[in-house]
């Protein structure tokens, strides 16, 4: 890889086009190619029929235009003979008494291959069948062009040192089965689409959805580049739309309707794409109709910086979709709990309410499950269990929240029971060690289990996905329940779910929920400080949850190495955490993740809500005594 972490740099170029003036188009093309070379781009793609312009109409039948197009390609070949960047240009190519709408792959003075368009539109504003034949009408595998014998056909895949790519042209993407589907199955990592898609109201959004969906369906990178300023406006307008996507996510786009030439650069994450394909049992190289592989020996200078952004919070939905996603997650949690409640014929739901984020989210899910099943909210039994570290703030929030939501409220102190237990096992009450802490956690779990027995209830677990990853739970204490509604929700997402709920509940609940959001994360197992405030803050002990969730996502979703994750974290959290801090907590994450698997191996049932999950019955099967990677 030109970037040691598995990124390849690609670009889409939209020059100002001159209708039927091929040499001017060639000069504009070369200018953008040279800019791409300076950016260390491996492959740059230009619009459909960019050598002549797309809107030449019956001029495509004129020998002068076809000759000029070939001369323009020759000019680009000569002008880029010393350029390592691979160049994809569009031009009409005449062969065996047929004219084809083609993409030409140029590299260092050679035409590496020519890919004709497969699906030729001939409806509404499009009349391409008047001029062009389909790739399916071509029997020959070689074509003479610019004095070279060139591989010709839609069955070409181009291999560079770092990745493989395929090409489709405009309408091909809109077909029921786009050529890119087969190209991906044949091994193409990235698909380039040379297009000339005109603008009508609503089309840009639909086109973007097509690109994103096709990149997701093919688990590929997708570079779409369409004709822009200069195309004939006789009947149509072209906006120079560029869309770069990777497995359903948009990486970059152009400024539509710009009057200036544009070069859009980004990187495709090859290791990420290949990790997705490796895990997808339906994705395999289909060799029933093997495609021809064309090797390109290009060397592009390495790069360290990235044009694309690394999301520091991969579990948090984008702002414009946050409410929709949060509501869906809550619906998944509620549906899972409601089904379990219905199946077990339990009378009640029993859970501990600490005044913290996790138990608050679990309570909200229980209340919504009540409403879904049309049960009285009093069937939810919330129990606050003050201990040695409970502060007034969390204690009062727990009481206020239960009252505001209309559930059954109980208060059972664990202090006397814990003191008796210390006496029974001869533990010094002033020795605030793991025994001191876990005694309280297990006493609380015993209370919940016994109250559930009394009321024919289910104990609802409140622990989240991040705590499961780190093993931040007391074995046979808060690690255990009868159904863990938060098991699929990472800590960084819990906050957004509670915030979303705060905006959709009554005023009394909203006030309490907002204060819960401002409360530091803590198990409150150690005595409060002199001012009565929380002394034991989780993130001071195990590290920032936003870092751990980042580590967890890239470890489980893509199987990246520690070194790769550290590199990505440095980019994602630039200006927030320095390299030493990232390294420290990354080592902590891997150490705890490997050591604490035994807690996950016997974790209770709970609903999966996202692409990353730790259920030993589903997404994550790991030996409890695996060696921790250094």
In this predicted model, what pLDDT tens digit does every residue of 440-450 receive, in sequence order? 999 999 999 99
- Least confident range from 246-260, 289-303, 356-370: namely 289-303
Q: What is the SS3 assignment for 457?
A: strand
Name the region of 575 (left: φ>0; alpha: ψ -120 to 50; beta: rest).
left
Give the burial class of 418: count Cβ atoms within 10 A of its Cβ; 0-12 exposed, 13-18 middle, 19 or more buried: buried
Whether 117 sits among the annotated catalytic residues: the reply is: yes
- The domain total for the chain is 2
The answer to the question of residue 567 being in a domain is no
Cross-sheet strand order for the sheet of 457-461: 408-411, 380-384, 348-352, 457-461, 483-484
The residue-averaged pLDDT of 465-476 equals 96
Q: Are residues 257 and 381 in the same domain?
A: no
Q: What is the SS3 assignment for 81?
A: coil
Predicted confidence band of residue 304 (pLDDT cuts 50, 70, 90): confident
Is the pLDDT confidence value at 75 over 70? yes
% the chain with pLDDT above 70:
96
Picking from 217, 106, 125, the residue whose alpha carbon sits closest to that of residue 170 is 125
The residue-averaged pLDDT of 7-27 equals 97
The answer to the question of residue 492 being in a domain is yes
| Active-site hit among 56, 117, 231, 267 | 117
Q: What is the pLDDT of residue 496?
A: 93
DSSP per-residue codes, 320-378: GGHHHHHHHHHHHHHHHHHHHHHHHT-SEEEEE--SSHHHHHHHHHHHHHHHHTT--GG
Is the pLDDT confidence value at 298 over 60? yes
Q: What is the pLDDT of residue 579?
A: 96
DSSP 16: P
Contact predicate 85/43, CB 8 Å: yes
Picking from 4, 581, 571, the residue whose alpha carbon sits closest to that of residue 312 is 571
Is the pLDDT confidence value at 200 over 80? yes
**Highest mean pLDDT of the ranges 3-12, 528-537, 566-575:** 566-575
Q: What is the pLDDT of residue 630?
A: 75
- Give the separation between CA 294 and CA 142, rounded to whole angstroms: 13
Q: Which of 495, 518, 538 is the last residue of a domain?
A: 538
The residue-averaged pLDDT of 376-380 equals 98
Q: What is the pLDDT of residue 540?
A: 77
Q: Kindly report the CATH number assigned to the domain that includes residue 215.
A: 3.60.110.10
Q: What is the pLDDT of residue 519?
A: 83
The answer to the question of residue 433 being in a domain is yes
- Least confident range from 2-11, 234-243, 348-357, 371-380: namely 2-11
Q: Are residues 436 and 354 in the same domain?
A: yes
Contact predicate 264/242, CB 8 Å: yes
Q: Are residues 105 and 196 in the same domain?
A: yes
The residue-averaged pLDDT of 57-61 equals 95
The answer to the question of residue 553 being in a domain is no
The answer to the question of residue 545 being in a domain is no
Is the pLDDT confidence value at 535 over 60? no
Q: Are residues 203 and 325 in the same domain?
A: no
Q: Which domain holds residue 189?
A: 7-295
Across the chain, which distance is largest between two alpha carbons, in Å?
101
The model's pTM is: 0.91
**Unique residue bearing structure tokens 């907590």:** 585
* Mean pLDDT (the chain, rounded): 93
* 362 or 509: which leads in pLDDT: 362
Q: Are residues 204 and 82 in the same domain?
A: yes
Is the pLDDT confidence value at 220 over 60? yes
% the chain with pLDDT above 90:
84
- Give the separation between CA 242 and CA 97, rounded to whole angstroms: 33
Question: Quick one: tokens of 65?
Answer: 């235009």
Backbone angles phi, psi at 43, to 5 degrees: -135, 135
Residues 6+ away with beta carbon under 8 Å from 582: 547, 566, 569, 570, 573
Is the pLDDT confidence value at 172 over 80? yes
State the DSSP H helix or E strand holding residue 244, giving kind and residue range, or none if neither: strand 242-246
Cross-sheet strand order for the sheet of 190-195: 249-253, 242-246, 221-226, 190-195, 164-169, 156-159, 292-295
Q: What is the pLDDT of residue 280?
A: 87
The answer to the question of residue 505 being in a domain is yes
Backbone angles phi, psi at 559, to 5 degrees: 65, 30
Contact predicate 239/204, CB 8 Å: yes
**Unique residue bearing structure tokens 């969730």:** 549
| Active-site hit among 93, 102, 170, 326 | 170
Predicted confidence band of residue 68 (pLDDT cuts 50, 70, 90): very high
Q: Kindly report the CATH number assigned to the domain that includes residue 460.
A: 3.40.50.620
Q: Which of 538, 560, 584 is the last residue of a domain?
A: 538
Q: Are residues 361 and 440 in the same domain?
A: yes
The answer to the question of residue 306 being in a domain is no
Picking from 476, 479, 444, the residue whose alpha carbon sits closest to that of residue 461 is 479
The residue-averaged pLDDT of 439-463 equals 97
The residue-averaged pLDDT of 478-502 equals 95
Q: Are residues 36 and 92 in the same domain?
A: yes
Q: Which of 280, 295, 310 is the last residue of a domain?
A: 295
Q: Are residues 27 and 109 in the same domain?
A: yes
Predicted confidence band of residue 301 (pLDDT cuts 50, 70, 90): confident
Q: Are residues 377 and 339 in the same domain?
A: yes
Q: What is the pLDDT of residue 113?
A: 98
Q: Are residues 398 and 265 in the same domain?
A: no
- Give the separation between CA 373 and CA 338, rounded to whole angstroms: 7
């Amino acid at each position: 890889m030109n970037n040691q972490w598995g990124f390849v740099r690609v670009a889409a170029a939209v020059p100002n086009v001159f209708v039927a003036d091929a040499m001017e188009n060639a000069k504009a093309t070369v200018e953008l190619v040279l800019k791409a070379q300076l950016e260390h781009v491996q492959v740059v793609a230009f619009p459909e029929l960019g050598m002549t312009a797309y809107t030449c109409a019956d001029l495509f039948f004129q020998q002068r235009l076809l000759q000029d197009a070939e001369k323009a390609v020759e000019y680009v070949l000569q002008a880029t003979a010393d350029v390592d960047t691979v160049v994809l240009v569009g031009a009409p190519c005449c062969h065996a008494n047929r004219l084809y709408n083609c993409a030409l792959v140029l590299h260092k003075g050679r035409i590496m291959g020519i890919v004709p368009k497969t699906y030729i539109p001939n409806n509404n504003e499009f009349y391409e069948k008047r001029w062009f034949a389909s790739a399916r009408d071509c029997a020959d595998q070689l074509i003479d062009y610019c004095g070279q014998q060139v591989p010709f056909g839609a069955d070409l895949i181009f291999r560079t040192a770092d990745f493989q790519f395929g090409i489709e042209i405009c309408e091909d993407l809109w077909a029921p089965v786009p050529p890119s589907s087969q190209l991906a199955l044949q091994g193409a990592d990235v698909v380039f689409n040379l297009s000339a898609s005109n603008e009508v109201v609503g089309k840009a959004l639909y086109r973007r959805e097509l690109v994103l969906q096709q990149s997701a369906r093919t688990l590929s990178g997708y570079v779409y580049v369409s004709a822009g300023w200069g195309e004939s406006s006789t009947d149509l307008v072209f906006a120079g739309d560029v869309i770069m996507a990777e497995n359903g996510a948009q990486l970059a786009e152009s400024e539509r309707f710009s009057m200036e030439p544009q070069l859009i650069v980004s990187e495709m994450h090859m290791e990420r794409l290949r990790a997705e394909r490796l895990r997808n049992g339906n994705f395999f190289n289909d060799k029933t109709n093997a495609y021809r592989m064309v090797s390109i020996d290009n060397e592009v200078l390495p790069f360290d910086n990235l044009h694309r952004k690394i999301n520091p919070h991969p579990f948090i939905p984008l702002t414009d979709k946050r409410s929709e996603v949060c509501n869906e997650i809550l619906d998944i949690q509620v549906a899972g709990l409601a089904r379990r409640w219905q199946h077990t014929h339990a009378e009640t739901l029993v859970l501990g309410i600490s005044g913290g984020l996790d138990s608050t989210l679990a309570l909200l899910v229980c209340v919504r499950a009540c409403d879904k099943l049309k049960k009285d909210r009093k069937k939810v039994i919330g129990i606050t269990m003050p201990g040695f570290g409970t502060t007034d703030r969390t204690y009062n929030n727990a009481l206020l929240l239960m009252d505001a939501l209309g559930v059954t409220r109980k208060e059972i102190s664990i202090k006397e029971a814990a003191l008796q237990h210390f006496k029974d096992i001869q533990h010094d009450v002033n020795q605030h060690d793991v025994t001191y802490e876990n005694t309280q956690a297990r006493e609380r779990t015993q209370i919940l289990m016994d109250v559930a027995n009394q009321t024919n209830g289910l104990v609802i677990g409140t622990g989240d996905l991040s705590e499961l990853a780190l093993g931040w739970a007391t074995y046979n204490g808060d690690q255990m329940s009868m159904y863990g509604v938060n098991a699929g929700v990472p800590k960084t997402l819990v906050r957004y779910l509670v915030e979303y709920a705060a905006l959709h509940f009554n005023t009394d609940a909203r006030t309490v929920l907002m204060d819960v959001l401002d409360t530091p994360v803590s198990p409150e197992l150690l005595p409060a400080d002199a001012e009565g405030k929380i002394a034991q803050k989780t993130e001071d002990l195990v590290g920032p949850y936003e870092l751990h969730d980042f580590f967890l996502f890239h470890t489980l979703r893509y199987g990246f190495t520690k070194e790769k994750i550290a590199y990505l974290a440095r980019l994602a959290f630039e200006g927030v955490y320095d390299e030493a801090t990232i390294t420290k907590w990354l080592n902590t994450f891997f150490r705890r993740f490997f050591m604490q698997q035994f807690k996950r191996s016997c974790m209770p049932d709970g609903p999966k809500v996202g692409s990353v999950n730790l259920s030993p019955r589903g997404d994550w099967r790991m030996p409890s005594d695996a060696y921790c990677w250094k």
